[in-house]
Amino acid sequence: MKQPGSGIAIIGSGSAVPATSLDNVGLSRIVDTSDEWIASRTGIRQRRLANPTLSLAKLAAEAAQAAIDQANLAPTEIDLILLATSTPDDLFGTACLVQAELGANRAVAFDLTAACSGFVFGLVTAAQFIRTGVYQNVLLIGADILSRWVDWSDRRTCVLFGDGAGAVVLQASDRDRLLSFELRSDGTQNHYLNLAFQPQPKEMVDDIAIGQGNFHPITMNGQEVYRFAVRRVPEVIEKALFRANLSTAEIDWLLLHQANQRILDAVGDRLKIPHEKIISNLAKYGNTSAASIPLALDEEVRQGKIKPDDTIVTAGFGAGLTWGAAIFQWGR
């Protein structure tokens, strides 16, 4: 039997995006493309871009504060901060900077990296700390500034990505709102989507050399990633549904990582989920990696579309390759 308070409720959400917006017409002045070309292939119309002075910590903290406020908590009541990101301000970690920005001085804080699957992996990770009774209030943030690592001369990738942050507050509850999950990884497909370090040999003394260098911009095999997503994402959702003893007819919303509208539609079709139940905001923001799911969730909550007790299937997929699904109910 579960101990009292070992369930999970998701009690607050928040989001933040940079003020600067670049639409497809503007992007066509940088690279050989067009609004029609981008929109017909991806569904993306514009994306938000962080200016040179905007840090990931600031963007993440803005989304986090909104989530904490909606949860009616103070930052000092947060026990744990998980920051899902692939673009930290500091390779040693940015979650502690967010903790300081919020004044959440009681919270343990660390980064988690699973690329575009980061929020789903973070949701499951946060749940384990609550279910074991270690922490009561956990702040989970998905945030990325991918514009830092995009090759803006490569129209295959630069049209896809944008910057943003989203956050949720999870709290221990007698009623368990996290109904099931399923996580997967396959490193043999890592080469289809990565942001790899490229070392340059540096001679030290005698026959000793080390590798110093920088990270290469994002590279992606779009066709393979598309095939992977439309095949594996429905499978992992079906497994999560089975674990929760639910059918697709009992689902109120399908909330996928916002990568490509064609992927969203294909997954919905395979699962026989009506398109009006598929949440999509990528036309405005593009692919914001770990931020995409909580950013879309927060918008729907604040617009009153997602209501208390609604059942949501969410799934992330991306670099690693990683993918996973979770089923939860919104609210206390």
Distance CA 83, CA 228 (A): 26
CA proximity to 64, closest of 86, 87, 20, 94: 94
Report residue 59: phi and psi, to 5°: -65, -45
Q: Which one of the listed residues 116, 158, 260, 281 is annotated catalytic?
A: 116
Q: Which one of the listed residues 137, 260, 281, 287 is annotated catalytic?
A: 287
Burial class (CB in 10 A: 0-12, 13-18, 19+), 262: middle
The question of whether 116 is a catalytic residue gets the answer yes
17 and 164 in contact (C-beta within 8 Å)? Answer: yes
Chain-centroid distance, C-alpha 271 = 22
Report residue 82: phi and psi, to 5°: -110, 125
61 and 81 in contact (C-beta within 8 Å)? Answer: no
Q: Which one of the listed residues 137, 158, 257, 260 is annotated catalytic?
A: 257
CA proximity to 180, closest of 116, 124, 252, 112: 124
Report residue 219: phi and psi, to 5°: -120, 145
- 81 by DSSP, 3-state: which? strand
Residues carrying an active site annotation = 116, 257, 287
